[in-house]
Amino acid sequence: METRYIFITGGVASSLGKGIISASLGKLLQARGYEITIQKFDPYINIDPGTLNPYEHGECYVTADGQETDLDLGHYERFTGIQTTRDNSVTTGRIYLSVIERERRGDYLGKTIQVVPHITDEIKRRILLNATKRHFDFVITEIGGTIGDIESQPFLEAIRQLRWELGPQRALNVHLTFVPYLAAAGELKTKPTQTSVKQLQGLGIQPEVLVLRTEHDLSDDIRHKVAHFCNVEVEAVIQSQDLPSIYEVPVNMQRQGLDAICLKKMGLTPGEVPELGPWHDFLERRKNATEILDIGLVGKYDLQDAYKSILESLAHAGTYNDRKVKTHFINSEYITRENVAEKLAGMNGIVICPGFGQRGIEGKIIAAEYTRTHDIPTFGICLGMQMMVIEFARNVLGYADANSREMDQTTPHNVIDIMEEQKTITQMGGTMRLGAYDCEVREGSKTWEAYGEQPLVKERHRHRYEFNNRYLEEYQRNGMQCVGVNPAANLVEIVEIPSLRWYIGTQFHPEYSSTVLHPHPLFMSFVRACISEMQ
Ligand code: GLN
């Protein structure tokens, strides 16, 4: 089958859940046996979100091939189990960069370089790129931002052209809008949706399918009205009502036939509705898991989205262990020796979060000491692992000034040091150790058991600093074992204290690869340890 393209745009407001709708549609098409991929085109100028503060757009998600991307790619992977690549995340910055580089090389032979056609051609080339490398039946492209944003215009022009060039059988526009409820009038309002569709039509795009985000059930009347005013068939007006969990969205979309209508519009026969058995089992189990497990997240970003993948990984592992994980953000900036017991009270386990820079690290170290000395299950991730290592140096090895080179350039006890390959790097963007690397796991270790006795795993990274191997012997002699090592570079990737119930730190980010149907083994094992802590 020739590759078909589905474009997802959003109108009226941001944060309506375009990423979740894209991921859900991908999931549903996949369940029908189609090969799919999902990509995100972001209109901002940054080359990638790697240099963005998490307060701007939330977590930076890293693909297995080492691209720093938008957190929506995490949803795509968690919903569908696909592995996205650097081709699945494109920004205005990347588009302009390649056009400008080509111009400097002289490739345009003296032409004036313009938004149309040069920028739009490059956007089109990137939209089609994934399917030139391997076969996909469907490529779903989510356009970031909202219709009407100045930056979105070239992307919309590109998808307008593609729809025209590929024809209605091979290209389809799905538009997500918002239907607000005015409490004072007691009414749902469709005008913003009508305006948003008109705006799209003004750009030459007729959406074939509308997904209406709403807090209240839309009556048939409303769906008819929207269909009538927007030139869309009634059965192609789908409602996306607030649900208790994002993972219910695919089921809700399937019930309303979102995937079936997309197939029909593209000239395909939908056939039988797939059962989504394992997905339903997950939802059922999730619903029945009512017993609460309290997990503290020690970090510095008081923003849900900053730790998105960690929260989702804990939720997956909680469900498969029949628990409802309740996460409690504990701001490490305010943790002191005096209040740590109180701050961590009632937690069945602690995650020490990833991060960069000085702010809040002393609180992470104090938390690591407290959980180590009180044998509370603790999972340190990236910077979190580094803080476990520093804490151990300060309080067990007796190096009171131990630190990471990131925080202290001059400490004689740099137990966390800058990686050799990073020393000469001056540019900040896309230059960390990124993506999936092999890690050999020591037989008999707790981590090895957690991984189901696998001797070699592959996990994703995003860091510049590493465990300083000069201290390896000393750590191991004193009870902290380095049980995961990258064989090519001899970098320590995992530390654990075997005498404790669960005290494991990973230099990599296991949270990037936990999915709904395949929860990550380390999160599974951590959650199990937190449950036994309760008993
Ligand atoms: N700042 C640390 C480093 O660069 C940890 C990074 C992280 O937690 N992702 O090594």
Q: Which two tokens stand for residue 100?
A: 């400008």
Indicate the angle between helix axes 383-395 and 361-373, nearest 10 degrees: 60
**Distance from the alpha carbon of residue 298 to the mean position of ligand 1, in angstroms:** 15
CB proximity list for 241: less than 8 A, separation 6 or greater: 214, 215, 216, 217, 218, 252
CB of 382 shorter than 6 A to ligand 1? yes
Q: What is the mean pLDDT of the chain?
A: 95
What's the helix, strand, coil split of the chain in %, to 5?
A: 40, 20, 35
Pocket of ligand 1 contains residue 377 by CB under 6 Å: no
Best residue for ligand 1 mutational test, from 356, 407, 418, 511 (most atoms within 8 Å of Cβ): 356
**Backbone phi and psi for residue 154, each to the nearest 5 degrees, phi listed first:** -60, -35
Q: How far is CA 410 from CA 1, 404, 405, 507, in A?
A: 61, 10, 7, 23
**CA dist., res. 449 & res. 437, Å (int):** 20
- Asked whether 160 lines ligand 1 (CB < 6 A), one says no
d(CA 455, CA 386): 23
**For ligand 1, what atom is nearest to the CA of residue 357?**
1
Q: What is the pLDDT of residues 83-99, one digit of tens each?
A: 999 999 999 999 999 99
Residue 463 corresponds to which amino acid? H
CA 161 to chain centroid, in Å, comes to 30
Residues 105-157: tens digit of each pLDDT: 999 998 999 999 999 999 999 999 999 999 999 999 999 999 989 999 999 99
pLDDT in tens, 21-46: 999 999 999 999 999 999 999 999 99
pLDDT tens digit string along 381-426? 999 999 999 999 999 999 999 999 999 999 999 999 998 888 888 8
Q: Is the CB of 355 under 6 A from ligand 1?
A: yes
Give CA–CA dist 232/205, Å, rounded.
12
Atom 1 (ligand 1) nearest CA: 356
Q: Is 90 exceeded by the pLDDT of residue 50? A: no
**Cβ(383) – ligand 1 distance below 6 Å:** yes
Please list the residues that pair with 37 across neighbouring strands: 139
Atom 5 of ligand 1, nearest CA residue: 383
How much distance in Å is there from the Cα of 349 to the middle of ligand 1? 22
- For the stretch 250-279, pLDDT in tens is 999 999 999 999 999 999 999 999 999 999
DSSP 251-279: HHHHHTTHHHHHHHHTT----SPP--HHH
74 CB within 6 A, ligand 1: no
Q: Please, are residues 86 and 98 in contact by the beta-carbon 8 Å criterion?
A: no
- Beta bridge partners of residue 349, listed in sequence order: 295
Q: Which residues are catalytic?
A: 382, 509, 511
Which three-class secondary structure string do you get for 420-444? Answer: HHHCCCCCCCCCCEEEEEEEEECCC
Q: Is the peptide bond before 117 cis (omega within 30 degrees of 0)?
A: yes
Contact between 24 and 258 (Cβ < 8 Å): yes
For ligand 1, whether the C-beta of 406 sits within 6 Å is yes
Q: What is the pTM of this model?
A: 0.95
Question: How far is the C-alpha of 218 from the C-alpha of 207, rounded, in Å?
Answer: 20
535 confidence band (pLDDT: 50, 70, 90): low
Q: Whose CA is nearest to atom 3 of ligand 1?
A: 463
Q: Which of 351, 462, 509 to mutate to test the pocket of ligand 1 (most atoms within 8 A of CB)?
A: 462
